[in-house]
Amino acid sequence: MSAHSLSNSTRPRVRKSGRPDATRSAAPVLEALKALIAAQPFFKGMKEEHLQTLADSAMEIQFTAGQVIFREGDLAHRFYLIESGKVAVEVERRGAEPILLQALGPGQEVGWSWILPPYHEQFTARALEATAAIYFHGTLLREQCEANHDLGYELMSRMAVVMLHRIQATRCQLLASHARRSRPEPA
Amino acid sequence: MKTLYDIIAEQPFFRSLNPEYMRQLADNAMQTWFEADELIFREGDVANRFYLIVEGKVTLESSAPNGQPVLLQTLGPGDLLGWSWLFSPYVWRVHARAVEPTEAIFFYGTRLLSACEADHDLGYEMFKRISEVMMHRLQSTRGKLNLAVAARTVGRQARQPETTPANKE
């Protein structure tokens, strides 16, 4: 896909405009990006104008296997939709291996802390294999959500579902750890 | 004598909410009381409502894979109880039980969800407020997870090494 190859050189950083270089032949690339965003199940049912707003704050991005996408405690100003690959959501532990909370794949959403105070990442996200994703500039979108509650409702209600899944995964780990702790000791 | 509207307007959860919405919430609400040890909702039941606790104490519980009950959270005055009415498949994921005589405001969630879908100003406000509660619960649950995992690690070091790796799943 041309949209993929174009983003090979992009680095995980925030661009002021949120757009790839908007010069010369940018239009077809932006159209392709918008089509890609419109095709995401996560945004199913969203209005054309909202999809456009999302596309205006997005770019494609690649991560190598093992690369940290964001770390717990980082300022949260972005989110991603996975196009291909696999991303781990991890709970950090001092002096120990992180706890794997969820392994996310294509179509799934990574990062929701951008939408709520204190705007700090609550988990670490790490690419488990070579991963392609769509990056969204959360800070920009957050301001637009505040100004336009139609958009705000659409994004807030979707992010709440993501948060719900993280809560359920955390509870699951907690319950499992209780079961292990109370397992009878071998004689 | 305080009206239901007054009690709702005092709740920190609704702080600075537009009075028109506050009235809409009051129209979908009623006061309710639970006895000590009374089950408020059961995991797996249909979630069509939520509560704000005015007085008393409520615990959220679930079961470990071995059937052992695990306390997830203790809630008190001002706390929101129940968000599953907002999320498909609209069933409770935990048990909620009053552990002492408890006064609460019941809200008809199913009707409010329709109102939120019809009016995104209201919907945005509700999702934002509930997401903030979810954020706090998430932080508290992961705090408990860290403690449980740390306790298990300490316990394991005190005994002989286990044959199964800790992070198998």
Query: Which of A17, A162, A3, A21 has its CA nearest to residue A81?
Result: A162
A23 band by pLDDT with thresholds 50, 70 and 90: low
Mutate to test the interface with A, among B70, B73, B157 (most CBs of A within 10 A): B70
Helix axes B120-158, A149-181, angle to 10 degrees: 20
Instruction: Give the range of the structural domain holding residue A83, as residue numbers without chain letter.
Output: 2-181
pTM, two decimals, is 0.86
Helix axes B120-158, B109-118, angle to 10 degrees: 120
B65/A170 CB distance under 8 A: no
A3 band by pLDDT with thresholds 50, 70 and 90: very low
What's the pLDDT at A26? 79
A24 band by pLDDT with thresholds 50, 70 and 90: low
Residue A116: closest CA among chain B residues belongs to which residue?
B132
- Structure confidence by residue, pLDDT tens digits, A52-110: 999 999 999 999 999 999 999 999 999 999 999 999 999 998 888 999 999 999 999 99
CA distance A99 to A92: 7
Would residue A187 count as lying in a domain? no
Using CB atoms, which residue from A122, A168, A174 is nearest to B148?
A174
Would residue A41 count as lying in a domain? yes
Mutate to test the interface with B, among A180, A182, A185 (most CBs of B within 10 A): A180
Rg, chain A, Cα only: 18
What's the pLDDT at A184? 57
What's the pLDDT at A81? 98
B68/A97 CB distance under 8 A: no
What's the pLDDT at A2? 41
Side chain identity at residue A139, one-letter code = T
What's the pLDDT at B156? 67
Query: Which of B139, B44, B38, B138 has its CA nearest to residue B84?
Result: B44
Q: Is B62 on the interface with A (CB under 8 A)?
A: yes
Would residue B163 count as lying in a domain? no
Q: Is A2 on the interface with B (CB under 8 A)?
A: no
Would residue B165 count as lying in a domain? no
CA distance B130 to B119: 17
CATH code for position A133: 2.60.120.10
Query: Which of A124, A127, A138 has its CA nearest to residue A104?
Result: A127
What's the pLDDT at A19? 52
Mean pLDDT, rounded, of chain A: 88
Give the pLDDT mean for B28-39.
97
CATH code for position B130: 2.60.120.10
What's the pLDDT at A4? 44
- Structure confidence by residue, pLDDT tens digits, A125-147: 999 999 999 999 999 999 999 99
Within 8 A of A156 by CB-CB distance, chain B residues are 124, 127-128, 131
Within 8 A of B73 by CB-CB distance, chain A residues are none
Would residue A48 count as lying in a domain? yes
Does position B122 have pLDDT exceeding 90, yes or no? yes
Q: Are A134 and A59 in contact (CB under 8 A)?
A: yes
Instruction: Give the range of the structural domain holding residue B149, as residue numbers without chain letter.
Output: 4-158
Task: Give how many domains chain B has, as a whole number.
Answer: 1
Which residue would you say has higher pLDDT here, B167 or A117? A117
Task: Give how many domains chain A has, as a whole number.
Answer: 1
Which residue would you say has higher pLDDT here, B153 or B138? B138
Q: Are B85 and B48 in contact (CB under 8 A)?
A: yes
A11 band by pLDDT with thresholds 50, 70 and 90: very low
Handedness of CA B43, A157, B129, A93 (dihedral sign): positive
Rg, chain B, Cα only: 19
**Which long-range CB contacts under 8 A does B21-29 form with residues at least 24 apart?**
B21/B121, B21/B122, B21/B125, B24/B115, B24/B122, B25/B107, B25/B112, B28/B107, B28/B108, B28/B111, B28/B112, B28/B115, B29/B4, B29/B105, B29/B106, B29/B107, B29/B108
Mean pLDDT, rounded, of chain B: 91
Give the pLDDT mean for B110-136.
96
Q: At residue B84, what are phi and psi to the nearest 5 degrees?
A: -65, -15
Would residue A85 count as lying in a domain? yes
Would residue B166 count as lying in a domain? no
B151 band by pLDDT with thresholds 50, 70 and 90: confident
Would residue B168 count as lying in a domain? no
What's the pLDDT at B157? 66
